[in-house]
């Protein structure tokens, strides 16, 4: 069979090696006919003693065809449902063959790939960290609709299956073995298929080896069925816990929970039909379209180097200098050392630099205590970081990242005093969140080698890096920054120079709109609660407490000095808030003794004077208008960045908004949101908001251009 290599040996064992067109095996249009043909042939095979399902690709099987899932439309749901049911019926035929069927898992088997494995009787995996197993469909707004929900519940029990289904948990073979997802591991790829065949031969005469547990008469689901008193508490409490986590904005986890409970309640085949209905429902939701577009296609495009210069050879960073061992510098040092890069961590004193290195030690100690790292590996990583106060120790760094306060004079002084220590052709990166790179590069002797490398706090947890090209930044500098970001296992977006670039500029509109709602008379607690209800991680007032109102004051002063006050960031409303909060009351944020909120061991409560000052009980505004003001303000700013070429691509805008700004996951990012909201509808809603709340809500011209061209944002 073209695409599936079918070989029968002298022992009657058929090995089917999947080798479909393209770089991976997947449930593309090619798959269903091949799968059906294979099972037809197996059912007719004389003298069959067993079946091994293997792969000729580096991955075992990549999963569902996301292009077809993206193309699914409400008018085609019946056809979609029937296709899913047909594929699952063939999987059911596979597991009902009268001989043992073994999955020989040589590489990643995620989503549909692991569902194929679940439809076999015995699963053997190559024990290597590159082999990931699991059902991550929830992260794309979907559910495992190829039998994954039903089989996992029957295999592991409801309580044990839920984390894999609802969190999309992916595990390496050793952990999968412990969880009961697979039966065995082998130490090398060469052993895999021979061991699968040996297992089949060992089962000669053992009819039970060819029967799935759930097809055995009298089978009971581990941990009990849904009617079991033991599970009553889990089933009763799960919806409330889920609502708290997703705020009702993500339909996939709700569908998964519903299907999983039904799988623990109903017979196997009925539960499978309910699962198919669940996938069919989700496939046509805007949330799934948004999440597939951004978290699969967009993220692959970004990480794959769409914004990286194509003709520049790979730029490996061997030695990085980090100037400033504070919160940002110490996080960059940790991430770099974890990637095996030699680090020179410099501050004004050795003590300050040592304190920065201690941050890495603290994080590594946590890894050791959790069994995720050995003491030997910890020592290796720590040995890579050299704390110092001596500029000369920077000699030979092929990359230096300055991570000091947002002050142009300070940054310029550091550039001029330490740039000389860069290796020949070395690159200088500034970890600035707002200051224009072109302006900072004026202090450099080689502005073409100067670039912005904007990290997010805390660096060890935040996955995004915003790379900013100044007017003179060359392609080698961009390639170096991009490759370094991938080297430390983070996602790079590339933007062009502008005050506050993309992420800080757009994030600033979120905080600003919160302030405007407050000054208008909205209750501050309501502002933050409604912002969370639309999907923002925290409200705009609470986040200002965290990032510091005092920091906003200092940024405002810097912007005034630069002659750009009010252009993108601070303005008259911000000035009023700063005057009331800081000048009059000394409340600069959480780490300055409190801000909009009071903080104690018991939690946080709104600071009463801010309610007394601004809340107007007579001011009327709907929750929907609050939601739209908060969301649309950020979407509009993102579109302006795309329109003016600050953003180089739609993918960078979507990934940057999710990973760097905290855009609601269900939107798929601030630009993708417009696609499924509808461009004409978005334009009309902007008009309504502008008429009622001001010109900041006017729809960017780029939307009208797309409408006229009959296009969406791609």
Q: Per residue in 52-77, pLDDT tens?
A: 999 999 999 998 889 889 999 999 99
Q: Per-residue pLDDT tens for 357-378?
A: 999 999 999 999 999 999 999 9
Section 604-616 average pLDDT: 97
Where do the H-state alpha helices sit in 570-678? 572-578, 608-614, 623-643, 650-656, 672-677
Q: What is the mean pLDDT of residues 393-399?
A: 98
Give the helix ranges, DSSP H, for 167-306: 173-179, 189-202, 229-246, 251-263, 268-283, 286-292, 299-303
Is residue 557 over pLDDT 80? no
Q: Examine the pLDDT at 409 and tell me if it is beyond 60.
A: yes
Over range 536-547, report the average pLDDT.
95
Give the up-direction half-sphere exposure of residue 702: CA atoms within 13 A in the CB hemisphere: 20
Q: Which residues are catalytic?
A: 454
Q: Does domain 4-284 have CATH number 3.90.226.10?
A: yes
Cβ–Cβ under 8 Å, residues 429 and 476: no
The predicted structure's pLDDT at residue 237: 87
pLDDT at 268 over 70: yes
pLDDT at 226 over 60: yes
Average pLDDT on 203-211 reads 95
CATH number of 623-709: 1.10.1040.50
Share of the chain above pLDDT 70, in %: 98
Q: Do domains 503-526+535-614 and 623-709 have the same CATH topology?
A: yes
pLDDT given for residue 569 in this prediction: 56
pLDDT in tens, 467-490: 999 999 999 999 999 999 999 999
Residue 507 DSSP SS3: helix
Is residue 131 very low, low, confident or very high in pLDDT (cuts 50, 70, 90)? very high
Q: What is the pLDDT of residue 435?
A: 92
Q: What is the pLDDT of residue 486?
A: 98
Residue pLDDT, tens place only, 665-712: 999 999 999 999 999 999 999 999 999 999 999 999 999 999 999 999
**Does residue 458 have a cis bond before it (omega within 30 degrees)?**
yes
Q: Enumerate the domain spans of the chain.
A: 4-284, 319-494, 503-526+535-614, 623-709
pLDDT at 564 over 60: no
Which tokens is 660 given?
């760097």
Q: Residue 182 — left, alpha, or beta (φ > 0 → left; ψ -120 to 50 → alpha)? A: beta
Spatial contact of 653 and 647, defined as CB atoms under 8 Å apart: yes
User: Nearest-CA neighbor of 491 among 657, 626, 632, 310?
Assistant: 657
**Which residue is listed with tokens 């920091």?**
551
Taking residue 680's Cβ as centre, other Cβ atoms within 10 Å add up to: 11
Q: Say whether pLDDT at 99 is over 60.
A: yes
The CA-based dihedral angle spanning residues 412, 413, 414, 417, taken in that order and rounded to the nearest 10 degrees:
120
Is the CATH number 2.60.120.680 carried by domain 503-526+535-614? no
Q: What is the DSSP string of 321-353?
A: EEE--SHHHHHHHHHHHHTT-EEEEE-SSHHHH
Q: Specify the pLDDT at position 29.
A: 87
Q: Across the strands, what pairs with 72?
A: none
| Radius of gyration of the CA atoms of the chain, in A | 28
620-637: average pLDDT = 98
pLDDT of residue 566: 55
Domain 319-494: which CATH number of 3.30.70.20, 3.90.1200.10, 3.90.730.10, 3.40.50.720: 3.40.50.720
Q: What was the pLDDT predicted at 710?
A: 97
| Contact present, 6 and 14 (Cβ < 8 Å) | yes
Residue 262 banded pLDDT, cuts 50, 70, 90: very high
Asked whether the predicted pLDDT for residue 563 surpasses 70, the reply is no
pLDDT at 567 over 60: no
Round to whole Å and give the CA distance between 553 and 559. Answer: 10
559: pLDDT confidence band, cut at 50, 70 and 90?
Answer: low
Percent of the chain predicted with pLDDT > 90 = 89
User: pTM of this prediction?
Assistant: 0.93
Q: How far apart are CA 290 and CA 674, in angstroms?
A: 10
Query: Residue 154 pLDDT > 70, yes or no?
Result: yes
Beta-strand pair 319-323/603-606: unpaired
pLDDT at 570 over 80: no
């Amino acid at each position: 069979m073209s695409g599936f290599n079918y070989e029968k040996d002298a022992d009657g064992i058929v090995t089917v090696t999947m080798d479909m067109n393209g770089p991976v095996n997947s449930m593309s249009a090619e798959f269903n006919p091949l799968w059906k043909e294979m099972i037809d042939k197996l059912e007719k095979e004389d003298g069959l003693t067993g079946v091994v399902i293997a792969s000729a690709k580096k991955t075992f099987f990549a999963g569902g065809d996301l292009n077809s899932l993206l193309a699914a439309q409400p008018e085609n749901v019946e056809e979609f449902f029937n296709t899913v049911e047909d594929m699952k019926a063939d999987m059911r035929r596979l597991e009902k063959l009268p001989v043992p069927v073994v999955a020989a898992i040589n590489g990643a088997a995620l989503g549909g790939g692991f569902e194929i494995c679940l439809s076999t009787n015995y699963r053997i995996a190559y024990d290597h960290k590159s082999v990931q197993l699991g059902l991550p469909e929830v992260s794309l707004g979907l559910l495992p609709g190829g039998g994954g929900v039903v089989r996992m519940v029957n295999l592991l029990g409801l309580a044990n299956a839920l984390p894999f289904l609802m969190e999309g948990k992916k595990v390496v073979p050793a952990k999968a073995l412990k969880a009961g997802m697979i039966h065995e591991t082998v130490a090398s790829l060469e052993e895999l298929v021979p061991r699968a065949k040996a297992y089949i031969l060992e089962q000669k005469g053992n009819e039970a080896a060819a029967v799935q547990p759930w097809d055995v008469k009298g089978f009971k689901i581990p941990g009990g069925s849904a009617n079991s008193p033991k599970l009553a508490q889990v089933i009763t409490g799960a919806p409330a816990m889920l609502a708290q986590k997703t705020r009702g904005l993500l339909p996939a986890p709700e569908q998964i929970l519903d299907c999983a409970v039904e799988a623990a309640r109903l017979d196997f085949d009925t539960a499978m039909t309910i699962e198919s209905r669940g996938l069919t429902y989700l496939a046509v939701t805007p949330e799934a379209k948004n999440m597939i577009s951004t978290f699969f296609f967009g993220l692959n495009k970004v990480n794959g180097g769409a914004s990286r210069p194509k003709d520049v050879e790979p730029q490996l960073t061997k030695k990085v200098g980090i100037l400033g061992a504070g919160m940002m510098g110490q996080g960059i040092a940790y991430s770099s050392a974890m990637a095996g890069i030699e680090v020179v961590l410099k501050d004004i004193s050795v003590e300050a630099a040592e304190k920065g290195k201690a941050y890495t030690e603290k994080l590594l100690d946590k890894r050791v205590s959790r069994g995720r790292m050995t003491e030997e590996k910890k020592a290796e990583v720590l040995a890579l970081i050299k704390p110092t106060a001596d500029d000369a120790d920077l000699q030979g760094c092929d990359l230096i990242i300055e991570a000091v306060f947002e002050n142009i004079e300070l940054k310029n002084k550091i550039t001029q005093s330490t740039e000389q220590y860069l290796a020949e052709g070395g690159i200088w990166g500034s970890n600035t969140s707002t200051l224009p790179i072109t302006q900072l590069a004026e202090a450099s002797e080689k502005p073409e080698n100067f670039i912005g490398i904007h990290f997010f706090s805390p660096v060890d947890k935040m996955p995004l890096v915003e790379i900013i090209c100044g007017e003179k930044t060359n392609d080698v500098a961009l390639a170096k920054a991009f490759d370094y970001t991938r080297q430390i296992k983070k996602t790079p977006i590339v933007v062009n120079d502008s005050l506050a670039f993309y992420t800080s500029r757009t994030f600033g509109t979120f905080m600003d709109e919160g302030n405007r709602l407050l000054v208008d008379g909205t209750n501050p607690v309501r502002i933050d609660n409604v912002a969370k209800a639309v999907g923002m991680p925290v409200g705009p007032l609470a986040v200002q407490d965290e990032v510091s109102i005092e920091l906003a004051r200092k940024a405002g002063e810097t912007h005034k000095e630069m002659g750009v006050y009010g252009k993108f960031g601070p303005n008259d409303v911000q000035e009023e808030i700063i005057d009331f909060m800081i000048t009059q009351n000394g409340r600069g944020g959480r780490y300055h003794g409190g801000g909009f909120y009071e903080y104690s061991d018991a939690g946080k409560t709104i600071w009463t004077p801010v309610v007394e000052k601004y809340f107007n009980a007579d001011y009327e505004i709907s929750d929907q208008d609050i939601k739209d003001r908060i969301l649309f303000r950020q979407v509009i700013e993102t579109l302006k960045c795309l329109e003016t070429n600050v953003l180089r691509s739609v993918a960078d805008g979507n990934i940057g908004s999710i990973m760097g700004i905290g855009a609601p996951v269900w939107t798929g990012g601030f630009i993708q949101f417009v696609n499924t909201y509808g461009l004409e509808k978005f334009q009309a809603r902007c008009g309504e908001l502008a008429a009622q709340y001001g010109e900041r809500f006017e729809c960017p011209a780029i939307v009208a251009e797309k409408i006229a061209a009959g296009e969406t944002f791609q």
